[in-house]
Structures are given as structure tokens and as C-alpha cells.
Chains A and B, each alone.
Chain A
């Protein structure tokens, strides 16, 4: 995006002859301040999700009613919630569920969206028309509403959340892939493959797919940001990750009823955690976008 000051994608003349296009992108990513900042934030939360529970001072699920709603202190850095659980420990470990569900949903969206996009872009015609209209119809409804209906119908579980978000995002990725495929299929190498009587499957997945990877990668990183947004929102609404998980959205929804009483520490740190993760992913996505497009 032109808004950022990243030096991403600047040509590297001395190396241009030796590196392939993917390596080129990789090295320009390493020079992008936006990307590295975002990546740093995301890696921090991934580390918390993986190893956090070994380092936190308290068990994130252990209650301690006597010390309930204690303000931040040396003992409890971020205070305690309404049943005395340590907020700091919960915030650190709370990254785990959202960082499992959101990437899996994004992966599902990418796989389904890429397949649909290749299919519609390659065959065009009536198949494309029908599938595209259906996908447009799905895109017209807000994700929250789709998710709400699906979860009412299917019940709440992590799998439901992954499937719902994955399938709601698939049409958006399909649209991006489709427009890239429409341009690719006019090129000579596709004609050559068709003249060799390669199967449609081979042409789509072996010939065209590797050439449309850049837009797919960009769209996937952008979608990951939205997936985190959606998972957090659904958890906050009570339709996502379920108790007793220390998930951030869930913690906010169970504690925000009391902020009128001044217990700000029970929600602020979870809110800031979501904010940093979402902004981190979006900065990284912005860097990836810049690296592929400049």
C-alpha cells in the first residue's frame, strides 16, 4: 500500500541476475520495516501461545475468590478478574485458541477459494456464471450474520467457527484467484499445455497455480487479519471459543459488565492484546502486499 513508508520491493540491481522472483520478494520483505514490525508482534504472540503456560506466574484457570477483582499490583501485574484468576497469565495464554482457530479458518478459506477461483477462471462460461452469482450472494451478507445463523444451526464448537469463517472468506479469495487466472489462461504456456492435451486438472493446478501464488499469498495474509477480527468478535458474542478458555474476546465478554464499577484491568489488557495482534497481522500483510506489488 502506498500509505506506508516501507522500502519493500525496491529493485536490487546487484542481485537481480542471481535470485529468482520469489527470493527477490523474500529479500525485499526483510528490508520492509512494516513487515518486520508486524512479524515481530505476531511472533511474540505465537511464542506466548506455544510456551506461555510455562512462564506465567499463575495458572490461568485457577480461581482465588479471596483475591477477586484485585487491582494491578506487584503480585498480580494486571490484577485479577471476578473469580480471582490472574489477568496477566490469562492474557498471555489467551493467545492460544485464537491463534489456532483463525489460521485454520484462513487455510480452509485459501484452499477452498483457490480451488473455486481456478475452476471458475479456467472454465468460464455458464459454470463460472452460476458459481460467481452464488458467491456474490454469499458475500452480500455480513460475516457476523452468516456465522450467527450457522452457529445457531450447527451448535458452537471450534470446528464450526473454523468452517463458518473459512467458508465465508472463501468467496473473497475465489474472486481474487479468478481474476488472476482469467489473465493467466490467455498466455502461451497455457495454450501449449492444452495443445499437449494435458488434462484440465493438470493445466489448472500444475501450470496455472504456481503463477498465481503471489496474489493468493497477499490475499491470505490480509484474510488472516480479518479471520482474527471475526474469531475475536464471535467469541465476544458467545458464539466462538467457549469457557473456560482464557481467550481474549471471551474474557472481555464475561467481564465488561462490571467496568461501570471501575474494574478496568479485567478488560483493558485483553482488548490491547487483540488490538496488537490484529494490527501486527495487518502490518505484516501490508508488507507482503508491498513486496509483491512494487
Chain B
């Protein structure tokens, strides 16, 4: 099987790289540059067609259809990503806002430099250090994310706190930095000065005028971080032995199980595209200057 995989490997990689893109132009150009020839293209088309119908092929290793594996893993990964997002979005924005309101004071420096430092660290490094602190020394949290069977919602949540923290730390820096610079720009703007000069209370100025404008770029950043988050999941799920899409792809890559590898990568490509689209939509809802549709 590995031999067979090795035989069709270049074509498989081509397909896997092509898979994630929604943009048909890019797919066509890439086809051309990669020199993917006709028969393989037909193969690719039929594979995509089957995928859209829910048939993701058969795993080389497990000798069973790929779809259940991918769907299970995607569900698990989404739980992990959701915990990380629910924690990081409000705290990251809050951190950025506090930093901006204390511009160039010690609190700002701590948040900015601290955020920058944890953002640049690889997830497995922060993961290891967090496991040592909370899992080994304090023994507050389990060091593996594999919860017992039939675990309820809160038990699962308890097991997910530690794995979500490294993702939290990386994202925190980005989100806080964007929120901070958005706030600084908004605080410096004419409409803020107008609002202050109108005699509005400071609290109202911040809530009604500054925050709404300041958070727009932050939303875009959060969406672009979905791509990063997927890469981070591969590492975190491996470190915590969590059965998610990242560890599924990782195992498939090591075992050269191409149907799973391709299906997994196409799936995260779709998730990425949906997240980007959702961010565009949210952006247009929040920003009165951009409206979807042509009638305005």
C-alpha cells in the first residue's frame, strides 16, 4: 500500500494542494504550473465530485470509508477551537482596549510586550510549559485531552482547558495588538473629539463611538487567524493526544494514508473558506459604510 501511495504520490500531492482552494482561477493556474496532466485531472474531478456527495473514499489503513473519521475528528477539533475562541476573543479585545486606554503606561507595556512574547512562541513550547505547571506540578488539570467515555459537557470542558491555552496565548497577542491599534486610531479621530466636546460622558464615548469603530479591523484579524488555528491544531492535538482533524491529518501523513490526508485537508480548506466568508459578512453587518448588495 505504501508502495502504491509512493507511485501516485506526486499527483496526490497536487490534488491535495489544489483541493482547498475555492478560487477556480487559482486552481487552473496551479494545475498548469504543476504540470498535472489530463488523466489525473479527470481523476481529481471525480474525486471532488464524490467528495461533494459525501463519499470521501476509503482509508488505506483502516480499510473503511473515510467520512466518519473526518466528521468525528472535525467535531472534536471544533470543540477545542471553540473553547479557545470563546476564551480569547473577549479577553484579547479587553486586553487591547485596556492597553490602548493606558497608552505608553506600564500596563500597556506589560500587555503589549507580554502579548508579543507569547504570540511568537511555538504552541508545543507553551503547551509543554503549561502542562508542567498545571498538569505535573499543581495537578489542577489533566495532561491529556482524552476524556473518559460518556463524559458530560463540563467534564469535556475541563479536559479541554489545558489544550486550548496554548492556542489562546498565540491568538491573544494578535487580537490584543489589533484591538489596541484600532482603539488608538479611533481615540485619535475627529468623531471622538466631537463626541467629547459635545460633553458626552467618557464612558458613553468609549462604548458608543470608539469601540464600534475600533473593533472592525480586529474582526478581520480573528478570521484570518482561522488558518493559523488549523496549523496550531495539528501540533496541539498531537501534544495532547486529542482525536481531532489535526492529529488525523498528522497520523495520515505519517502512515501515507492518502484518502484520509486529502479528505482532511479539503475539509479544513472548506472550513477556512467558510470562516473567511463569515468574517466578510460580519464585517459588513457591523460597518455601515459597507453593505452587501448593489441597491445601496
Contacts and interface: CB of A to CB of B under 8 A. Distances in A.
Contacts of B137: 264
Interface string B206-239: 0000000000000000000001101100110011
A237 B123 contact: no
Q: Interface on chain B toward A: helix, strand, loop, or mixed SS?
A: helix
B35 to A, nearest CB: 14
A148 B23 contact: no
B143 A236 contact: no
A195 interface: no
B278 interface: no
Given A144-B234, A145-B265, A259-B131, A134 B124 contact: no
Contact of A133 (B13, B26, B120, B125): B26
B116 A140 contact: no
A151 B16 CA distance: 13
A72 interface: no
Contact of A278 (B17, B120, B249): B120
Contacts of B268: 145
Contact of B132 (A1, A149, A237, A264): A264
A134 B121 CA distance: 29
Given A136-B26, A237-B250, A275-B125, A142 B113 contact: no
Contacts of A264: 132, 136-137
Interface centre among B123, B125, B230, by most chain A C-beta atoms within 10 angstroms, is: B125
A190 B128 CA distance: 52
Interface residues of B, number: 54
Interface string A104-130: 000000000000000000000000001
B193 interface: no
Interface stretch (A10-18, A207-215, A225-233): A225-233
Q: Interface on chain A toward B: helix, strand, loop, or mixed SS?
A: helix
Given A260-B136, A260-B143, A142 B124 contact: no
Contacts of A141: 17, 20, 227, 269
Contacts of A232: 122, 124-125
B25 interface: yes
Contact of A233 (B25, B123, B129, B249): B123
B9 interface: yes
28 contacts: A3-B112, A4-B112, A133-B25, A134-B26, A134-B29, A137-B30, A140-B20, A141-B227, A142-B231, A143-B231, A145-B234, A148-B250, A229-B121, A229-B122, A232-B125, A233-B235, A249-B122, A252-B124, A259-B132, A259-B136, A259-B143, A260-B136, A268-B128, A271-B128, A274-B122, A274-B125, A275-B125, A279-B120
Interface of B: 9-10, 13, 16-17, 20-21, 23, 25-26, 29-30, 33, 108-109, 112-113, 116-117, 120-125, 128-129, 131-132, 135-137, 143-144, 177, 180, 227-228, 230-231, 234-235, 238-239, 249-250, 253-254, 256, 261, 265, 268-269, 272
**8 closest A-B pairs by CB:** A142-B231, A3-B112, A144-B231, A137-B26, A271-B128, A282-B120, A153-B13, A271-B125
